[in-house]
Every structure is written in C-alpha cells, then in structure tokens.
C-alpha cells in the first residue's frame, strides 16, 4: 500500500453561490479552520475516500504542504472559504516510482521530488485559471528547494481536461500505469506526469530511443535514395558551395527533400 493517497485531479459538482463578475482569487496555506470544508470538497469531488489522518495532516501542516484558493470578493462571510486547493508531499527521489527517470548529482545532497496528492476546484470557479495557478504555487515552492528535481503526479486516464492542462504547463507524460486506480471494484489506468526542475532532466526512455533510431534510419534511406537519383541523373543535379568552402553534390529537388526530412524527424513523448 502507498504511504500516501493516490493523487486525483477533478472538478466539484457541489452547489455554490453565484460569483462576482471579476472575483478576487487569492492563495494562502490551508489551516485548521478549513478542515470541514476541505473534507466536504474531497467527498464531493473524488471517488476515493481519504482517511481523517490525511486531512489532519494537511490542516496542521504535518508532512504535507498545501495551498488554498479563496475568493475575497464573496459576501456573507464566505471570503475565506475554500474554492480550490492543492496538497503535495516531499519524497526522496531514490525511493519514488520515477527514480529511474531522474538525473541528479548525488554529491550535492540527496535528491527529492514533490508529489501532488490532490488538486480540485469547485465547479462554479472552473475555467478561470485557478488550477493552473495552484500548480504554479507547487512548482515555485519546489524550485526553491535546491535538491528538488521535479514535481510529479498521477491522473486518471479519462480525465482529458486535466491531461490537457498538464501538457500546456510543460509537464511530460512519462508512463501509463494499467489498473492503477481501483474505484468501486473497477480498475482504471493512470498517466504519470513529471515537471523537471533545477537542472534535472529525464534520460531517454526505450520508446524515445526506438523513435530516434527509426527516424535516423528513415533519414539514411532518404539520403541513399537521393544519391541513387544523382548517380542515375547527373544532369538533374548541381554543385553547391558552402560557406566553409566544402562542396556537396545535391539533387535538383534539394530544398523539398530537406524539408521532408525535417518534418519526419520530429517525435512526441508518450
């Protein structure tokens, strides 16, 4: 069993009062007075039930760090009431499930990561950039830890809005975990996203290497085909002189061939 809850990113369906046309969204640490509201939102948003110990840890500032989003323009004493939140935990990189993806200098101290546990925004405050701002708070906090090498999280495979958000924020999808979540007796896949910080970067995965080799082979085949074309139709080729005075023999369709090779050499992370 995991030492901490499996992360979720969702939006709430709970009833909320009408909001101002231009709400004043502010961010602050979650504190003990937020306990009841925090539990309520988690119950309404997530299909996974969290234990009381988790919430106590969050509001009392144990080993979980957190940020609350509030709307200071709300009337009737609701200006400090949570309308969004993010909770996270610092873990040792070597003990994490992505230890094989992290490059760091162990001589400079033991590397850490920040794992996002839960992230949520109530429905009436969606599409206002609040989730993005909360994630930025985590990234900013993590970047201030010299030995921290990244921020990572899990997202259920069918949560397309969250997946698009992470991709826009330059998180890298590094793995798909089959049957990661068990919800109401049914297994669901999860994607694992990482945002590398403080000079850390991921080594090429086997998939990346395979794509690179494939593209290299394609480029080689095209280059070989171009040479055959030149040898069989020298009238259709010409000598070009480069800036360093070296000479290259290229076919007449040089620009078109080079353009197609540049397009075919691109690849995406899965």
Instruction: For the chain, 270 residues long, give each residue's pLDDT as a single digit of tens.
Output: 344 455 555 544 444 556 667 889 999 999 999 999 999 999 998 888 899 999 999 999 889 999 999 999 888 778 899 999 999 999 999 999 998 888 766 666 789 999 999 999 998 898 899 999 999 999 999 999 999 999 999 999 999 999 999 999 999 999 999 999 999 999 999 999 999 998 776 555 555 555 445 655 665 555 555 544 444 444 443 333 333 333 333 333 333 332 333 222 221 222
DSSP conformation class of 224: H
Q: Is 108 among the annotated ligand-binding positions?
A: no
Handedness of CA 166, 168, 171, 176 (dihedral sign): positive
pLDDT of residue 3: 46
Q: Is 140 among the annotated ligand-binding positions?
A: no
Q: Is 128 among the annotated ligand-binding positions?
A: yes
Q: Is 35 among the annotated ligand-binding positions?
A: no
pLDDT of residue 75: 81
Sketch the domain layout of the chain as residue ranges. 23-208
Report the alpha-carbon distance of residue 3 to residue 177 in Å, rounded. Answer: 18
Q: Is 127 among the annotated ligand-binding positions?
A: yes
Tokens 């701002």 -> residue: 133
Report which of 196, 207, 218 is spatially closest to residue 264, judged by C-alpha positions: 218
Count of CB atoms within 10 A of residue 43's CB?
Answer: 12
Q: Is 241 helix (H, G, I), strand (E, B) or coil?
A: strand
pLDDT of residue 43: 93
Q: Which CATH architecture has domain 23-208?
A: 3-Layer(aba) Sandwich (3.40)
Q: Is 156 among the annotated ligand-binding positions?
A: yes
Burial code (b: 16+ CB inside 10 Å, e: under 16) for 53-75 equals: ebbebbbeeeebbbbbbbbeebe
Report yes or no: 87 and 38 within 8 Å, Cβ to Cβ: no
Strand partners, 213: none
Q: Is 3 among the annotated ligand-binding positions?
A: no
pLDDT of residue 270: 28
Helix, strand, coil proportions of the chain in percent (round to 5)?
35, 30, 35
Handedness of CA 157, 159, 163, 166 (dihedral sign): negative
Q: Is 164 among the annotated ligand-binding positions?
A: yes
Report the alpha-carbon distance of residue 81 to residue 66 in Å, rounded. Answer: 15
Q: Is 132 among the annotated ligand-binding positions?
A: yes
Half-sphere exposure of 128 (CA within 13 A, CB side): 22
pLDDT of residue 38: 97
Cβ-proximal residues to 130 (8 Å cutoff; 6+ apart), any chain: 25, 69, 83, 84, 121
């Amino acid at each position: 069993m995991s030492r901490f809850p499996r992360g979720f990113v969702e939006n709430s369906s709970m009833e909320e009062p009408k909001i101002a046309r231009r709400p004043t969204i502010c961010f602050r640490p979650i504190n003990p007075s937020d306990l009841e509201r925090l539990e309520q939102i988690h119950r309404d948003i997530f299909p996974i039930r969290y234990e009381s110990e988790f919430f106590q840890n969050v509001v009392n500032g144990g080993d979980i760090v957190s940020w609350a989003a509030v709307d200071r323009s709300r009337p009737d004493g609701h200006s400090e009431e949570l309308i969004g939140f993010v909770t996270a935990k610092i873990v040792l990189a070597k003990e994490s499930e992505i230890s094989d993806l992290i490059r760091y200098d162990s001589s400079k101290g033991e590397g850490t990561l920040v794992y996002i546990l839960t992230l949520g925004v109530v429905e009436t405050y969606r599409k206002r950039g609040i989730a993005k701002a909360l994630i930025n708070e985590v990234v900013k906090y993590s970047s201030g830890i010299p030995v921290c090498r990244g921020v990572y999280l899990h997202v259920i495979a069918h949560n397309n809005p969250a997946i698009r958000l992470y991709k826009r924020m330059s998180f890298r999808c590094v793995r798909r975990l089959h049957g990661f979540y068990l919800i109401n007796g049914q297994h669901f896949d999860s994607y694992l996203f990482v945002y590398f910080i403080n000079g850390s970067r991921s080594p090429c995965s086997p998939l990346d290497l395979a794509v690179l080799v494939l593209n290299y082979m394609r480029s080689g085949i095209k280059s070989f085909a171009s040479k055959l074309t030149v040898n069989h139709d020298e009238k259709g080729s010409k000598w070009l002189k480069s800036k360093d005075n070296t000479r290259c023999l290229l076919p007449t369709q040089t620009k078109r061939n080079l353009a197609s090779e540049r397009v075919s050499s691109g690849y995406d992370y899965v």
